[in-house]
Chains A and B, each alone.
Chain A
Amino acid sequence: MKLTIKARLITAFVVLIVLSGTIYYLGSTNTGILNDRINIIVDVNVKRILLASKAAEDIQFITKREKELIMTSNQNEVDEYIEVIEERSSEMLARIEQLKGMSDEKGIEILEGFTSNWNNYTKVYNKIKALSLKNNDSTFAVAYKLSSTDGREAALGAISSLAQILKKNEGALATAKVEADTLYDNAKTNMIILLIVAVVVSVLISFWIISSISKSINTAKLAIKSVAEGDLTISIENNSKDEIGDLLEYMRAMVDKLKDVLTFVSTASDHIASASTQMSGTSQSMSQGSQEQATSAEEISSSMEEMVANIQQNTDNAQQTEKIALKAAEDIQEGSKFVNLTVESMKKIAEKISIIGEIARQTNLLALNAAVEAARAGDHGKGFAVVAAEVRKLAERSQIAAGEINELSSSSVAVADKSGKLLEQIVPNIQSTARLVQEISAASREQNTGAEQVNNAIQQFNQIIQQNAAASEEMATGSEELASQADHLRETIVFFRIDKGQSAQRVSAQKTRAAQLAKPVQQTAKHFKGAQLKGGVNLDMAMSSNGNHDALDNGFEKY
């Protein structure tokens, strides 16, 4: 069975508490008994005495008043006396009744005797009272007689009963005093015995507890001391099954665990060493990548330069084209207008020609008229007739010519109309072309801004490459640091002895290897720095090629 220190301490205290409780119980029980005795004396006996003496006093008062009642002749006084007497009598009876309640059998017997006496007196009194009320001399005498005889006897009998009670109770008081003295002596003896027992038990328990704890703690102290000195080879003995035992047990586990950890750290530093070797390789390849990135960025930059130039060209061309297209559209519209005008003019010409035709017709008619006139004039008109005939022929010819012109003009009106319509049809096409070109121009402009953005991106990219270079430099220093830290770790771990001096040698060998690995990393970082610088210059050149543009932009912003 495992008795823990706790359990042992609890047991000891429980024993001590039980002993002290027993002592208290004894004391309090005796005092209680004493108290009960005193209470009975005060509450029963003393009160009986008080009540009895009061009742005796009342009887004396009543008898005295009875005498005065007999003596007085004044009616008013009579009534007053009667009233006082009867009031005092009832008071007295109430006291007697109270007394009766707390009396023992003997007492009740005595009280019955009192009651019969009092009843006798009451009968006498009632006679006296009736006589007194008649209030004459005869009655007086009778009353007096009664009072002095029967009344006196009854009253004395009652008082004696009361005196019996007093006597009896005074005896009870004396008995009670003796009983209390004995009780006190017994209680005093019991208490002393118990106290001695308790002291002995306590000393025994304390001794037992102290001896069991100190041995285990000593063992633990020794173990901790050797661990602090770095000796982890100790073995911890443990026989106790209490808490200290547990502590020792855990300590042994801790040392074991510590041994494990140190072994792990030692292997881990080995791992770190190999990892830094690997890191060095990665740094190298990273440096190489950066170099390639730099060259690519250079290429991109120059390509971008070209592209920007091309885009600029495109934009310019598109704008030019747009202008030309718009101009063409306008020109064609103008042309179409002119064609329309031409059509109008031709129509007008046709009209005019028809007028000419009409005129020719009328001329013809006129010439005919002239011919008629000339013919009527006979010989005188001959010459004129010839002229008229000529005119008529001319008119006829011009009529025919007018007809032909009319036909021609109507056909050319048709042609012009058609070409006008065609031109009108072309106009929307050209307009849409112009619109498209406009869109292209807009797209080119957008491209331009896009290219600029790309340029910006490349710049940012360059920055990132630079950052990358810096990072790989840092990484190199980091891996150096890591190697030295690993050395430190090894040095620290050497402090601990796990398997008698093996571990320290291994750590130092690893340290040299880590130092060797750190060198090439530094070289790559240096090389990368050069490439990075070069790329930066290239970018600057790309930027300077856009310098004009920037200047323009600046100028634009100034606006």
Chain B
Amino acid sequence: MELASAVTQSYLTFRLDDELFATSVINVIEILELTRITKVPRSPSFMRGVINLRGTVLPVIDARQKFGLDKTPDTVNTCILVLNIQIDNEKLTVGALVDAVQEVLDIDISTIQPAPSIGSRYKSEFIDGMVKGNDKFIMLLNVSKVFSSEEVSILKEGYDMGENTSINQ
């Protein structure tokens, strides 16, 4: 993180339910429309399956489930964010199913507030910070951590609504 006040960073904002999230565009490869997802049997339910990304097979993770939201039917706005994430120094490409993609925002780094350790639903290690949008706070996510986490939900213990199983039995 640079300290210069004028330094901005681009973030892609997306929506889950009513909440806005953002991720650094560095992590984003592209945004896809929802296509048919092939379920892989006996995989955790937040793993929606695999899709065909121009000839390669891309695993898709349901961000809603990851964020402890109810499963809702997919809409026309449902998108797949193709993300580059880092697990144990290994680069990995995954798809994240989000309700809608908003826009690319240039965020002045200085405006980023630290994630509140109290009062947030989410575990602090997944949140890089918060920024105030038009009239809403936008959570800046650490997608590498969010989507590489083997935990089903990134909710805090108290908020955890999902099953308490891990990916690798």
| A-to-B contact residues, CB < 8 Å | 361-362, 365, 368-369, 371-376, 385, 388-389, 392
Contacts and interface: CB of A to CB of B under 8 A. Distances in A.
A365 B26 contact: no
B33 interface: yes
Contacts of A392: 103
| Best-buried of A362, A365, A372, A392 by chain B (most CB within 10 Å) | A372
Contacts of B112: none
A389 B104 CA distance: 8
A385 B104 contact: yes
A388 B33 CA distance: 18
Q: Enumerate the 4 nearest inter-chain pairs by beta-carbon distance, A residue then B residue, closest first.
A: A375-B10, A371-B104, A375-B25, A372-B25
B33 A362 contact: yes
A368 B104 contact: yes
A365 B104 contact: no
Given A385-B104, A388-B104, A368 B12 contact: yes
A383 to B, nearest CB: 13
Contact of A369 (B10, B31, B76, B106): B31
A361 B10 CA distance: 22
B10 A385 contact: yes
B31 A368 contact: yes
A9 to B, nearest CB: 153
Contact of B101 (A362, A368, A373, A389): A368
The listed residue with most A CB atoms (<10 A of its CB), out of B10, B32, B79, is B10
Nearest to A382: B106
Contacts of B17: none
Contacts of B10: 371-372, 374-376, 385
A369 B103 contact: no
A365 B100 CA distance: 10
Interface string B139-164: 00000000000000000000000000
Contacts of B32: 365
B139 to A, nearest CB: 18
B141 to A, nearest CB: 15
Contacts of A389: 103-104
B109 interface: no
A361 B25 contact: no
Nearest to A357: B76
Contacts of B25: 371-372, 375-376
Contact of A372 (B12, B33, B76, B106): B12
6 contacts: A365-B101, A372-B12, A372-B30, A385-B10, A385-B104, A389-B103
B163 to A, nearest CB: 33
A316 to B, nearest CB: 65
Nearest to B9: A375
Given A365-B79, A369-B31, 8 more contacts: A362-B33, A365-B101, A368-B31, A372-B30, A375-B104, A376-B25, A376-B28, A389-B104
A362, A371, A374, A389 interface centre (most CB from chain B within 10 Å): A371
Nearest to B104: A371
B15 to A, nearest CB: 13
Contacts of B33: 362, 365
Contacts of A369: 30-31
Nearest to A361: B76
A388 B32 CA distance: 17
B37 to A, nearest CB: 17
Interface in B29-64: 29-33
A388 B12 CA distance: 13
B103 A372 contact: no
A371 B103 contact: yes
Contact of A376 (B26, B76, B106): B26
A372 B83 CA distance: 11
Interface in B85-126: 101, 103-104, 106
A288 B25 CA distance: 124
B79 A372 contact: no
A361 B103 CA distance: 13
A527 to B, nearest CB: 107
B130 to A, nearest CB: 20
A375 B103 CA distance: 12
Contacts of A368: 12, 31, 101, 103-104
A278 B9 CA distance: 140
A365 B76 contact: no
Contacts of B31: 365, 368-369, 372
A369 B10 CA distance: 13
A399 to B, nearest CB: 11
A374 B104 CA distance: 10
A521 to B, nearest CB: 114
Contacts of B106: 375, 385
A373 B12 CA distance: 11
